[in-house]
Amino acid sequence: MSSTEARARPWFLLLPLPAMFLGAFTAGRSGNPTGVFATNAVAAVLGMGVAVLLGRITRTRLQQIAVPLATGAVLLTASTLLAPGLDGVHRWLQLGPLRLHASTLATPWVLLGISVALKQRFGVSVFLALSMAAVHTAQPDAGQATAFAIAASCILARATAWPPRILGCIAVLGLGMSAWLRPDPLEAVPHVEGIVGLAFTLTPALGLAAVLALALLLLPMVTGGRQGPESEVLPLSLGVYIAATLCVPLLGDFPVPVMGAGASPVLGWYLAVGMLAPWRSPSPQPREHATP
């Protein structure tokens, strides 16, 4: 697939819109506020712009800045631990009246850094994965901890030497699962964590439409050409991460991405889609000089 072909998928940018519309419609029909979904719409507009800008970066350049960006993303997520939090839970960045869920913004960058460092600096990959998993446990955020640990282990499992990769996967998965042992007193908000359940309560058809709309979010990760095993690992891990974030609300009171009210998962999805375009595009090949 050429660079032009990899990036010429503008319809990808429209995929969150059905889920966002159904979320607002379901909330309104259930007597819940719909104005809060304005943040989703604003996040979608900003996310489209960011995704387009990321798509213009070459894969080589993205690889060069991946580890520093991933390190910054871990530190950004860890900074939530310094905030007052809600009932002892620390997951958000406070920007004036707006609260942003840090992990959903940072995790795509961390997965990018882990995937880039995998072959040459496996220790860096493990360090990034364990650091992010530890932050999730400290917050605590069992939903994000689970999604991230599974996605990160998919990358670490591709390491060359099998003893380190097995140990790395076990460590990350174990640390991620430990978040379930931390108390989480926050109650579910119907138009955030319970939005799919509300849709099924209204009508089974609306619930099924909600599930299908959320499934559309996986399309950019599972479609399109690939350039071999090295470039497959990032789309795979991002796809696993997004799929897991869609499934963890079945296990507990965790936000439903995009369809539930909240800007951060929308922005995080667009970040993931934006960084996939240069990653799937072939790296520039050195020109061959004709023999005199």
Assigned domain for 73 exists: yes
Assigned domain for 272 exists: yes
Task: Write phi, then psi, for 95 (nearest 5 degrees).
Answer: -120, 90
CB 141 within 8 A of CB 104: no
Assigned domain for 257 exists: yes
Assigned domain for 252 exists: yes
The CA distance from 274 to 280, in Å, is: 11
Assigned domain for 285 exists: no
Q: Who's near 83: CB < 8 A, 6+ residues apart?
A: 90, 92, 93, 94
Assigned domain for 108 exists: yes
| Tens digit of pLDDT at every position of the chain (292 positions) | 444 444 446 788 999 999 999 999 999 999 999 999 999 999 999 999 999 999 899 888 999 999 999 999 999 999 999 988 888 899 999 888 889 999 999 999 999 999 999 988 899 999 999 999 999 999 999 999 999 999 999 999 988 777 888 999 999 999 999 999 998 888 889 999 999 999 999 999 999 999 999 999 999 988 754 444 445 789 999 999 999 999 999 999 999 999 999 999 999 999 999 998 876 555 554 444 444 4
Q: Tell which residue, 266, 275, 279, has the closest CA to residue 17.
A: 266
Evaluated on CA atoms 240, 244, 245, 247, the torsion sign reads positive
Assigned domain for 207 exists: yes
Is pTM beyond 0.75? Reply is: yes
User: Per the structure, how many domains does the chain have?
Assistant: 1
Q: Tell which residue, 115, 27, 102, has the closest CA to residue 67.
A: 115
Assigned domain for 34 exists: yes
For residue 205, the enclosing domain spans 3-183+192-280
